[in-house]
Amino acid sequence: MGIKLTYCLATLLLFFSLDLNAQGDPINLEAKGNREVPTATRIAESPLIQDTATPTQVIDYPFLNLYFPTQIELSKIEAASVKIVDKLPQLYHSYLKLGVGSKFMPLGEFYFNNTRSRKYHYGVNLKHLSSFGNISDYAPAGFDRTRGEIFGSIIENRYQVNGNFHYGSQGLHYYGFKNDTIGKDSIRQRYNDVGFHFDFLRERKDTTNLNFKVGLTYNNFMSRKLGDADSLKNWRARENYFAIDGGAWYKMGKEIYSADLSISYNGYKYGEDLKTLTPIDSGLVRDNTVISLKPRITTFAYDNRLKASVGLDLTIDAADKTKAYIFPLIEARYSLFNDIFIPYVGIKGGLTQQSFRNFTSENEFILPNIEIRNEHKSIDLYGGFKGTISRRIGFNIGASFAHIKNLSFYLTDTLHARQNQFYLGYDTANVATVEGSMYFQLREKLRIDVIGKYNSYQLLNNSYAWNRPSTEFTVRGKYNLFDKLIAQVDVNLQGGRKALVYEDGVDTKLENGQYALSLGYLADANLGLEYLYNNRISAFFQMNNLAAQRYKRWNNYPVMGFQVMGGFTFKF
């Protein structure tokens, strides 16, 4: 124990001496002691290489087998009706319709056309309707309308040629005054209409080709002569219309580049220029030429859902004075939900070339010596949306606002004692229109159309657009029962019509210094029935003006009351 303590003290002294005298002379110590050496033993285990990195235990996470049941519901699709026949149904060249109505109203229609052909299409149409009936207390109101047409087409893969020739004759009486004893010849009128149209179309589906069309139109329209004397042969309305129109279009990628050009001339004459037949009947001569060029670019985008068109209408009006106009032509539409909903919007304008023929087709009781002006629509903003609610129901709702110069309307001629004819009035107007339509169709069995329209006129010098309706409503329906009985219904309603008069009276209202006569509500309902005896023979029965209302179609012009007509049709 003493030796061990001595050894420890010597060791400490050596440590401190080394620490304190590290830079001094070395010190040697000599000591004596006993050391016990432990007994050596052999390690029985073999040597191993021990890695310093400890391996991590690998844990296996298996995938979870999750099962979600899938439910699939299949909508029912009605099977298509396919009619399997050994041969195509027989077609007939001719169709004849003959009938007669109350108050001795004969009706005749004849149609002839070729049967199935890939290359040729031609035919003839003839129609006639007349009435020998009168309206109680009014002047004779008989009329007749006859029209014929010959047409034909040649259809090839790369081009098409079309043509037609027409003739029309319309006789009438100016019955718009109360006098049932007056002679018919003193108030009769007749319009003759003859003309033709040809056009050539070259269209190839290849996008590297230029397609084009060109057309030629001529029409002659005349009213009845005032008398048989040679000096009166020119005292009637004579109108010659001639037009050349065409267009070209080229498709490159998703764009279509197109341009339309039209040159139209309308020459209207009544009597002889600068001559007077009576103090209130003077000659009129008017040459009216309109040239219009419409370049346009149309593009498609978003898988053809978007269609946009941008262009201009460059028009020269060479009537009384030569004037040039530029109108915008911009339109865009976008298809949503696979054509279920298609909004559209556009801006346009244009010049409408008016003619005596156009006015008489709307109101046949106008004077043969009228002043004709072209309608100038400087701007027309429109928009709306259309689409299909289902495969059976479709709709269209739209609105527009237009600024129009030379808007025409009809005024009662007060220079003649009978006041049974109309002359044209013109004014500058802002016209706002809201319209909508909807159709329902159930296969070939049922079809219903509903159309509504409202017009709001703000005129510069007139209180109303005389003799024009502000509201229009139309319902059309057709029902096919077992391919044996076909029923058709037509209902037409018009309201808001006013006529300009020059004295106070019943149903008149003074507004802005003008007397406005209310023409009442126009309500016309017609019902037609046709019984198909077989594929070639049928019988029809028509009832017109079911409400038996003698509403005034124009001021001083009531219509006939309830009418019936029946007859037969033949195919051969």
Please give the CATH number for the structural domain made up of 98-571: 2.40.170.20
Give mean pLDDT, residues 74-99: 76
- Helix H, strand E, coil C: the string for 479-545 is EEECCCEEEEEEEEEEECCEEEECCCCCCEEEECCEEEEECCCEEEEEEEEEEECCCCEEEEEEEEC
Q: 71-80, 108-117, 126-135, 535-544: which range is least confident on average?
A: 71-80
List the strands of the sheet with 498-501, edge to edge: 498-501, 514-518, 508-511
In this prediction, residue 57 carries a pLDDT of 54
Domain locations along the chain: 98-571
pTM score: 0.81
Q: What is the pLDDT of residues 8-19, one digit of tens each?
A: 444 444 444 444
Nearest by Cα to 490 from 548, 449, 532: 449
- Say if residue 268 is exposed, middle or buried (CB neighbours under 10 Å; 0-12, 13-18, 19+): buried
The answer to whether 344 and 308 are in contact (CB under 8 A) is: no
In this prediction, residue 73 carries a pLDDT of 64
Q: What is the pLDDT of residues 208-232, one digit of tens each?
A: 688 999 999 999 999 998 877 878 8
- Average pLDDT of the chain is 87
The answer to whether 551 and 544 are in contact (CB under 8 A) is: no
Residue 444 has pLDDT above 80, yes or no: yes
Residue 298 has pLDDT above 70, yes or no: yes
Residue 372 has pLDDT above 90, yes or no: yes
Residue 188 has pLDDT above 50, yes or no: yes
Q: What is the pLDDT of residues 384-430, one digit of tens each?
A: 999 998 889 999 999 999 999 999 999 999 887 788 999 999 999 99
Beta bridge partners of 473: 452, 493
Residue 565 has pLDDT above 50, yes or no: yes
In this prediction, residue 419 carries a pLDDT of 85
In this prediction, residue 232 carries a pLDDT of 85
In this prediction, residue 82 carries a pLDDT of 63
Q: pLDDT above 90 covers what percent of the chain?
A: 66
Residues in contact with 255: Cβ distance below 8 Å, sequence separation at least 6, in sequence order: 297, 298, 299, 300
